[in-house]
Structure 1
Amino acid sequence: MTDRYASFVQTGAGRALVKRLGLPDPPRLRRHTPGDPLVPGPVLLGSSAGGRIAEPAGKILTAAGVELADPVAAHDADRRFAALVYDASGITDSAGLRQLYDFFHPQARSLLPSGRVIVLGTPPAECGSPREGTAQRALEGLTRSIGKEFGRGVTAQLVYVTREGDAGTPVSLESTLRFLLSGRSAYVSGQVVRVGAGTAVAPADWDRPLSGQVVLVTGAARGIGAALAKVLARDGAQVVALDIPAAGDELAAVANDIGGSAVQLDLTAPDAPTRLAEHLASRHGRVDAVVHNAGITRDKTLGRMDADRWDSVIDVNLSSQERINDVLLERDLIPAGGRIVSVSSIAGIAGNRGQTNYATSKAGVIGLVDSLSPVLRERGISLNAVAPGFIETRLTARIPLAIREVGRRMNSMAQGGLPVDVAETIGWLSWPASGAVSGNVVRVCGQSLLGA
């Protein structure tokens, strides 16, 4: 679906009109292309006094071929940076928050278009005192405000890095830094990511971080699922693409295009989990990552909704995920180091009129992450979710024009996202190198003004 307004504002006449009338100005976002450098310019790395993460972060960036700017260059008014990375883990009270101002205030106009801001901190629950916990929680307000202020496609994120197993921080943190700095995260902003002490395995080739991995994708025949299958295959995965029999032709086309395999299966069938488990066991012996993408909508206001609309949405969007997880885990088909990624929605965070069934199911997915991820962590398996906002698909194309335009513009990017934006985020959470990232719900919404 084409966003004609965003295309228009890239023209000379469009830019003049936007400036004169103060209209939304959608920037051209930097998205990932294989072979691209991680960032298109130098990165300025700063640290609070006593910060513990700057050193390992600097090693990660240097090893990735990133040019770290000389701190003296930060005072050059003409110097431009691709990213600002700041270690705030040394801030132990509210007075220390002044260090954030001292670092970011001079650099507010120094970022290149589609630049990146990453703040590194300590999870408040791990802080040694209430004052330290207070200061670390304050970082969320900083990053979310920067995401809304800097404009021009700039994204801002907060990454809480556990104190547990600090010796392993470089490997645990690397996949998250690489994702957030790259064009893969173009439509992700204002998010809080928690990096724990789980097992992270760096790939031999960061251009193919899923090489040798078997990944199951449900709902793979079209839209976000088809884009996801393509991204995972590009990154080296052997993709098992699953969808309902009625979508068989489209599913086969997706699987053939990426060199994957197709499975036609109705996930609501009583024997679906068992049949799926038997297929994976006989064909692959395991599944390294499971992506629960299958979902449906059956919209009506609650007072007008029949029971079938309610039951079908809950069953497909939530209960089927639980049933599949149970069987795959019971049969040990997801090995230690495995990953599960579920697709939620911003509707599960903010709610949506006429979608009580859908919002309930997607909030349930978030509950699944909250309740099951600590259990799976003991088995060395990560569980996360992504929550898309307004994404340009065939479904959103059916929304009335006025509502569609509101959905597109009410975010920091002033535009809808693309299926590939959701796919790239799921891809990152599916990497073996992201094994220390668990229990997260990452919104892919351009920092929507709805929900949070």
Structure 2
Amino acid sequence: MTDRYASFVQSGAGRALVKRLGLPDPPRLRRHTPGDPLVPGPVLLGSATGGRLAEPVGKILTAAGVELADPTTTPGATSRFAALVYDATGITDSTELRQLYDFFHPQARAVRSSGRVVVLGTPPAECGSPREATAQRALEGLTRSIGKEFGRGVTAQLVYVTAAGGAGTPVSLEATLRFLLSGRSAYVSGQVVRVGAGTATVPADWDRPLDGQVVLVTGAARGIGAALAGVLARDGARVVALDVPEAGDALAAVTNEIGGSAVQLDLTAPDAPNRLAEHLAGRHGHVDAVVHNAGITRDKTLGRMDADRWDSVIDVNLSSQERINDVLLARDLIPTGGRIVSVSSIAGIAGNRGQTNYATSKAGVIGLVDSLAPVLHERGISLNAVAPGFIETRLTARMPLVLREAGRRMNSMAQGGLPVDVAETIGWLAWPATGAVTGNLIRVCGQSLLGA
């Protein structure tokens, strides 16, 4: 689906009109292409007094080929920073928050278009005093505001990194930085990522972080699922693509293109979980990552909705995930170090008129992550959710014009996202290197102005 307004804005006449009338100005976003450098320029790394992460992060970035800028140098108009990374873990009192101003104020106009801002903090629950927890929680307001202020496609994220350590933490911190600084995170902004202690594995090649991994994707025949299958295969995965028999031709086209295998299965069938488990056990012996992407909509206002619309949406979008997880986990088909990623929606956060069934199911997915992630952590398995906002798909193309334009413009990027944006985020959470990233809900919404 073409965003004609965004195309017009990029023209000479469009740029002049946008500037004169103060209209939304969708920037060109930097997306990932294999072979790209991690960032297209120098990164300025700063730290609050007593920060514990600046040194290891500096080593991570240097080893990744990133040029660290001299903090005493002020960039000119043609030599702006590709990213600002700030270690705020040393802030233990609200009076020390001034250090944030001192770092970011002079650099507010020094970040390139589609640049990145990453702030590192300590999880408030791990802080040694109420004052420290208060100061660390304040970082969320900073990063979300930066994401809305800096413009020009610049994203801003907060990463809470456990102080408890653990073998997987440095690996997952590197994986998280590689995702957030790269073009993979083009449509992710204003998010809070929590990196804990857990099982994580350094890939032999960061350009193929899923090499040799078996990854199951449900709802893989079209849209986000098809884009996801392509991203996973590009990153080295052996993709098991699943969809309903009615989508068999489209599913075959996807798997033929990526060299994956297809499973035609209705997930609402009573025997579906066991049939899927038998297939995975027989063909692969296990599954390293499971992506619950299958979903449907059956929209009506609640007062006009029949029971079948309610039941089918809850069953496909939520209950089928629970049933599949139960069987795969009971049969030990997801090994230690395995990952599960569930697709929620911004509707599950903010609600949506005419979608009470859908919003309920997607809020339930968030609840699934909240409740099950701590349990799976004991088994060395991570569980996270991704919540897309307005994504340019055949479903959003059917929306009325006014609603469609509102969905596109009411975010910090002033445009809709692409299926690949969701796919890249899910792909990152499926990496073995992100095993210590668990219990997270990551919105892929361009920092939507709606919802929490």
Give the TM-score taking structure 1 as reference length.
0.99
Q: Are the counterparts in 1 of residues 214 and 237 from structure 2 also a CA contact under 8 Å?
A: yes
Q: Are the counterparts in 1 of residues 230 and 258 from structure 2 also a CA contact under 8 Å?
A: yes
Query: Is 2:216 aligned against 1:246?
Result: no
1:76 is displaced (CA, Å) by 6.2
Partner of 1:147: 147
1:164 is displaced (CA, Å) by 1.1
Q: Which moved further from structure 2: 185-194 or 53-62? A: 53-62
Distance 1:75 1:114, change over 3 A: closer
Letter paired with 1:147: G
Matched position secondary structure for 2:138: helix
Q: Are the counterparts in 2 of residues 267 and 320 from structure 1 also a CA contact under 8 Å?
A: yes
Distance 1:264 1:128, change over 3 A: same
Q: Are the counterparts in 2 of residues 296 and 316 from structure 1 also a CA contact under 8 Å?
A: yes
1:74 is displaced (CA, Å) by 3.8
**Partner Cα distance (2:172, 2:109) in 1:** 31
Matched position secondary structure for 1:442: strand
Partner of 1:202: 202
**Partner Cα distance (1:3, 1:79) in 2:** 31
**Partner Cα distance (1:252, 1:76) in 2:** 52
Matched position secondary structure for 1:27: coil
Partner of 1:237: 237
Q: Are the counterparts in 2 of residues 42 and 66 from structure 1 also a CA contact under 8 Å?
A: yes
Query: Is 2:295 aligned against 1:286?
Result: no
Letter paired with 2:124: P
Matched position secondary structure for 1:71: coil
**Partner Cα distance (2:35, 2:392) in 1:** 26
Q: Deviations over 1:164-194 (max 9, x none)?
A: 1167543230000000000000000000000
Partner of 1:262: 262
Find runs of 4+ consecutive structure 1 residues off by over 2 angstroms. 74-79, 166-170
**Partner Cα distance (1:199, 1:376) in 2:** 12
Partner of 1:14: 14
Letter paired with 1:341: V
Matched position secondary structure for 1:100: helix
Query: Is 2:212 aligned against 1:218?
Result: no
Partner of 1:99: 99
Partner of 2:299: 299
**Partner Cα distance (2:139, 2:165) in 1:** 23
Q: Are the counterparts in 1 of residues 168 and 435 from structure 2 also a CA contact under 8 Å?
A: no
Letter paired with 2:99: Q
Letter paired with 2:58: G
The alignment yields a C-alpha RMSD, in angstroms, of 0.9
Letter paired with 1:142: L
**Partner Cα distance (2:105, 2:13) in 1:** 33
Partner of 1:329: 329
**Partner Cα distance (1:108, 1:146) in 2:** 9
**Partner Cα distance (1:168, 1:252) in 2:** 37
Q: Which runs of structure 2 are paired with 1:387-402 in the superposition (5 Å)?
A: 387-402=387-402
Matched position secondary structure for 1:387: strand
**Partner Cα distance (2:108, 2:36) in 1:** 26
1:73 is displaced (CA, Å) by 1.4
Q: Are the counterparts in 2 of residues 56 and 169 from structure 1 also a CA contact under 8 Å?
A: no
Partner of 2:353: 353
Query: Is 2:35 aligned against 1:35?
Result: yes
Q: Give 5+ residue unaligned stretches, structure 1.
A: none
Calculate percent identity across the aligned residue pairs: 89
Give the TM-score taking structure 2 as reference length.
0.99
Letter paired with 2:349: I
**Partner Cα distance (2:242, 2:168) in 1:** 36
Distance 1:233 1:101, change over 3 A: same
**Partner Cα distance (1:68, 1:378) in 2:** 38
**Partner Cα distance (1:24, 1:354) in 2:** 27
Letter paired with 1:135: A
Partner of 1:421: 421
Q: Deviations over 1:107-140 (max 9, x none)?
A: 0000010000000000000000000000000000
